[in-house]
Amino acid sequence: MWTGERQTTKMRIKYLEAALNQDIQYFDTEVRTSDVVFAINTDAVMVQDAISEKQYGNWLLALVTLAVVPLIAVIGAIHTTTLAKLSAKSQEALSQGGNIVEQTVVEIRVVLAFVGESRTLQSYSSALKIAQKIGYKTGFAKGMGLGPTYFVVFCCYALLLWYGGYLVRHHYTNGGLAIAIMFAVMLGGLGLGQSAPSMSAFAKAKVAAAKIYRIIDHKPGIDRNSESGLELESVSGLVELKNVDFAYPSRPEVKILNNFSLSVPAGKTIALVGSSGSGKSTVEEERESGERKRKHA
């Protein structure tokens, strides 16, 4: 438990550092804000669940049940692969639902102003219905995985009852030893059958870790922590935009800025006035982007 907590804590820190160092357009095209929160709160817990108490085994039970290990392994492999695919789809659906809720809460005044409550509820309900359908499939897959496992275990139980009785009848062993072996194999088989939830934990952790390390391993176009680049000897304080055209990568067909120019002398304060979506925030983002590009030129 302590090792799992320590490793996931480091993973959370690296993930947040990587997310904060990404470019603005990365969150417009690749990752949503809710995905970052979901990864830190949920995906990291799944990884911790897999690398903590799930990594425990008893070599004695594994040795006793060696005869059925190949069959159990095949069933487990099919079971784990199926659960991994369903887990990825379920997490994506839940993430979409969380994103809808987060955006609604943050912009609750806008939602109420445009009477968008019903539409928001429909979107959230649709995301949950997708997750619900995947949950049904996951439950069916777990049943199909555990069913054959228990079938194999109890077939071994029946075989040992028959063979143990044969050995006792012909005086090759005594009843106590036969019963002991029978229950040892039965409990070992049940233990392997009950390991399916742990396999599910590994499958979920694999999907969650892939999402976390996708951001950790992504290299931004501008490295904020780099010391290299052109250092200006003096700064006049003049901020100027000339003939700027801009559209967000997620909606390239919609122009936010079209041949926009702005000049702000040093020491002056200006105000950008306009309706929502007219590009006020975009002007500030472009200015900050230009500052970072000059620092790393």
Report the share of the chain in percent with pLDDT over 70. 61
- Our measurement of the distance from residue 19's CA atom to the centroid of its chain's CA atoms, rounded to an integer in Å, reads 14
> What confidence category does residue 245 fall into, taking pLDDT thresholds of 50, 70 and 90?
confident
HSE, side-chain direction, 13 A CA sphere, residue 24: 14
Helix 196-216 × helix 2-20 angle, to 10°: 30
- Closest C-alpha among 141, 160, 164 to residue 152: 160
Give the chain's end-to-end CA distance (angstroms, integer). Answer: 46
Domains of the chain: 2-216 (1.20.1560.10), 239-295 (no CATH)
At 195 the pLDDT is: 60
* Integer CA distances (angstroms), 39 to 102, 113, 120, 128, in order: 14, 32, 23, 18
pLDDT digits (tens, 9 = 90+) for 99-153: 888 888 888 888 888 888 888 888 888 888 888 888 888 888 888 877 877 787 7
| pLDDT at 297 exceeding the cut of 50 | no
Give the least confident one: 43-57, 203-217, 224-238, 266-280.
43-57
Residue 99: predicted pLDDT: 83
Q: 159-201, pLDDT tens digit by residue? A: 767 777 777 787 777 777 667 666 766 665 555 555 655 666 6
What is the pLDDT, as a whole number, of residue 65? 45
pLDDT tens string 201-220: 676 777 777 777 777 787 77
**What pLDDT score was predicted for residue 62?**
36
Structure confidence at residue 100 (pLDDT): 84
Residues 276-295, mean pLDDT to the nearest whole number? 60
Average pLDDT, the chain: 71
Instruction: Kindly tell me if the per-residue pLDDT of 50 is higher than 70.
Output: no
Helix or strand run (H / E) with residue 230: none
Alpha helices in 107-195 (DSSP H): 108-113, 117-169, 175-193
**For residue 83, what pLDDT is reported?**
77
